[in-house]
Amino acid sequence: MKKSIYNNEISLSPNYHLIYNTYTNSFLVVKNTLYNKYLSLSVSEIFNEYPSFYNQLLQAGIFVEDEECEFEKLKQRISKIDDSLEQYTLTINPTINCNFNCWYCYENHMAHSKMSFETLEYVKRYITKICSQKSLKRFNLSFFGGEPLLYYKDIVHPLLKHFQSTCLTLGISSSIGFTSNGYLLTSSMIEDLKSFGVSSFQITLDGSKTLHNKVRYPFEGADSYSKIVSNIKKLLHANIFVVLRINYTSDNLESTKEIINDLKDIPNNEKKNIHVDFQRVWQDKGINDLILSDTLVECIEAFESIGIKVYGEIINQVWNSCYADKVNQAVINFNRDVFKCTARDFTKENRLGVLNEDGTIIWDKEKMKQREGVRLSKEVCQHCRIAPICGGTCTQRGLDSGNSNLCIRGLNESGKDNIVLNQFYYNIVKNGVSV
């Protein structure tokens, strides 16, 4: 037996050490006296002198067979998850136009871009073909853009109707979600969405009311903040889950605490339907990260003090890998162009395929070939102790980085320790998972 390359060992206090294996996601908290034995003794010596401790280490995956190639096991795990044919994830852009013009948006919005009636029919055919796959058990549909609700009646509604009826007819489990700014929602639309089984919305706020309205507005002077908050509450009341994404910068982070005052009146039985997700605006650079981190913790604690959960800083890019890493996934643009990633602009240069009139996708074989095996292709990933939770990188970021052998996340050993401690905190301390 040998020690796993995916072991992480961190001091928790003067008396205790944490041993965490990222492949098995197993945590052991041991007294320093025992930890010192773990460091100084061979595996066979631990087996002979401390058999109970040995069995704990073995069960946790801290010890593995001498002949075991752990990196190959990890690649197989990733492949099994990403290549699974049991689920399909389809994202549809009814338009890439938007009623807002946020300064940090990476998209080149096109006025009057709208899915044609012909393309709408092609998409319906594609949905039918996917549902007819014998291996398929679940179909996840999402709407993106631009702002997908701009053409709700003409595009979104008929697609929802077709999707629901097709999944029901063929006995396919399904989910439907939207990424939207939430401004165009109405009470009648929400009732309609609920009838089609829509389960979730991701909606963004940019700080307090004052700061948000400087970034997100359909016209100068409009109070989009109040309308969006009101619509969020309507979604929650309809039992539709909301991921409240808060895009923060050094300028607006402190102000996000003010949002709490506008969410306090959400009934306790509806608060389970909303989670907050803090995301830093990537263009926000050159600031004191330490101060920003402390402020972020304060903001998270403030939301949780009123009973609203905040997504923890847990990395799990293998079991819950990016949708774009999966084989059974596509993004169909309003103009029939097909992509994998929604975090890049929908240009002809980034296109990976085209939707055909018969409801099939003609993929660019050369570009798709380039995406294969990217996630763990960098040498720096192949020897990394947190690779089983990091997954190397998402495919798109890996491609963007070219031949660089630097960690995509920019992590040094101290940074990896911080990730492990976050895993420990959110899995064990906060959520009460047994060690």
Structural domain spans, the chain? 2-68+373-430, 81-362
Looking at per-residue pLDDT, the higher value among 348 and 313 belongs to 348
81-362 is a CATH 3.20.20.70 domain: yes
Cis omega (within 30 of 0) on the bond before 432? no
pLDDT over threshold 80, residue 241 = yes
pLDDT over threshold 60, residue 5 = yes
What pLDDT is stored for residue 288 in this prediction? 58
Mean pLDDT of 46-60: 97
Per the listing, tokens 């992480």 go with 8
Name the pLDDT band for 182 (thresholds 50, 70, 90).
very high
Name the pLDDT band for 353 (thresholds 50, 70, 90).
very high
Q: In this structure, what token pair is assigned to residue 139? A: 């179909």
Per the listing, tokens 């959520």 go with 431
pLDDT over threshold 90, residue 366 = yes
Residue spans of beta strands (DSSP E) within 63-156:
63-64, 87-92, 138-143
pLDDT over threshold 70, residue 82 = yes
DSSP string covering 246-276, please? EEE-TTTTGGGGGHHHHHTTS-HHHHTTEEE
Percentage above 90 pLDDT, the chain: 81
What pLDDT is stored for residue 61 in this prediction? 97
Nearest CA-CA partner of 109 in 142, 159, 150:
150
pLDDT over threshold 90, residue 106 = no
Looking at per-residue pLDDT, the higher value among 338 and 427 belongs to 338
In whole angstroms, give the CA distance from residue 180 to residue 163.
Answer: 19
Average pLDDT, the chain: 93
List all residues 6 or more positions away from 9 whose beta carbon is below 8 Å from its beta carbon. Answer: 17, 18, 19, 20, 35
pLDDT over threshold 80, residue 198 = yes
Looking at per-residue pLDDT, the higher value among 281 and 331 belongs to 331
What pLDDT is stored for residue 76 in this prediction? 95
